[in-house]
């Protein structure tokens, strides 16, 4: 069973704007799972790379499946891969590449390489602007440095798995960017999220999973996949007093517009 019972969809409404289907956690189940998801309501998936090797795998998934699109980039936790921005430039020319990502800053795991993180992030933002592609940005405990680089270069794109304050969300909106919301919104300790979601215009919200990580409640800690996005949409619907399918339809339009799907 792909979906929790009450979440079965009859229409292909779902766009998962942030997944990692190249991740080894999907080894052995990947193809079967992707085919099953696409048969059961998942219309499109953007799968994000974290370095050069991951980008090659991500692009080959996008080549194998019409409904899968790729983002290529160097994640701040993957700097030891030594992938260069020139390699990312080459990979980004693939016709199924729709964004530069996942890129950004992560001071949670380590902050002793802040300068290198900022340099790699900034050069990829500049690349995205040059190529006229959106960015998919990771920001963990690095809100002010992330915002500074985004304000300087004003890329189009999304701040994924948003974890900042309402004020930060408003700054991101002012820059013309989108807010990505995933399974974290269903976690009991996500106290700030209702306030953030209420402050973001619905035409700036995107749905995502970050699978195989961050499965929503009640599947927290389990292997996440794009089908669980129904639980995230349900939670957002409750917060905003809308229906779940309304959330799917509205965020779907946003995703199509931003990523030119
Ligand atoms: Ni991610």
Nearest CA to 139 out of 154, 126, 158, 124 is that of 158
Ligand 1: centre distance to CA 50 (Å):
8
Q: Is the pLDDT of residue 68 over 70?
A: yes
Does the model's pTM come out above 0.75? yes
CATH number at residue 16: 3.20.20.140
pLDDT the model gives residue 191: 86
Ligand 1: centre distance to CA 103 (Å):
9
Domain count, the chain: 1
Domain containing residue 39:
5-259
Confidence of residue 190 (pLDDT cuts 50, 70, 90): confident
Ligand 1: centre distance to CA 137 (Å):
9
Ligand 1: centre distance to CA 179 (Å):
14
Ligand 1: centre distance to CA 102 (Å):
6
Ligand 1: centre distance to CA 250 (Å):
22
Q: Is the pLDDT of residue 5 over 70?
A: no
Ligand 1: centre distance to CA 18 (Å):
6
pLDDT the model gives residue 4: 47
Burial 72-109 (b: 16+ CB within 10 A, else e): bbbbbbbbeeebebebbbebbebebbbbbbbbbbbbee
């Amino acid at each position: 069973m792909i979906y929790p019972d009450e979440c079965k969809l009859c229409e292909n409404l779902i766009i998962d704007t942030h997944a990692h289907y190249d991740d080894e956690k999907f080894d052995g189940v990947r193809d079967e799972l992707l085919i099953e998801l696409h048969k059961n309501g998942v219309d499109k998936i953007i799968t994000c790379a974290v370095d050069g090797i991951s980008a090659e795998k991500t692009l080959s998934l996008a080549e194998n499946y019409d409904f899968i699109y790729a983002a290529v980039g160097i994640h701040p936790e993957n700097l030891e891969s030594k992938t260069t921005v020139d390699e990312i430039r080459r990979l980004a020319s693939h016709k199924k590449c729709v964004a530069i990502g996942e890129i950004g800053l992560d001071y949670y795991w380590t902050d002793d390489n802040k300068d290198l993180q900022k340099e790699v992030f900034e050069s990829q933002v500049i690349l995205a602007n040059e190529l006229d592609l959106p960015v998919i940005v990771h920001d963990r405990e690095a809100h002010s440095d992330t915002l500074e680089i985004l304000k300087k270069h004003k890329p189009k794109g999304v701040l994924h798995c948003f974890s900042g304050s309402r004020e930060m969300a408003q700054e991101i909106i002012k820059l013309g960017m989108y807010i990505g919301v995933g399974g974290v919104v269903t976690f009991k300790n996500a106290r700030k999220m209702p306030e953030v979601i209420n402050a973001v215009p619905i035409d700036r919200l995107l749905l995502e999973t970050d699978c195989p990580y961050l499965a929503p409640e009640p599947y927290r800690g389990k292997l996440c996949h794009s089908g669980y996005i129904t639980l995230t949409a349900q939670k957002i619907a409750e917060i905003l007093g809308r229906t779940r399918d309304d959330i799917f339809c509205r965020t779907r339009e946003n995703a199509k517009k931003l990523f030119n799907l």
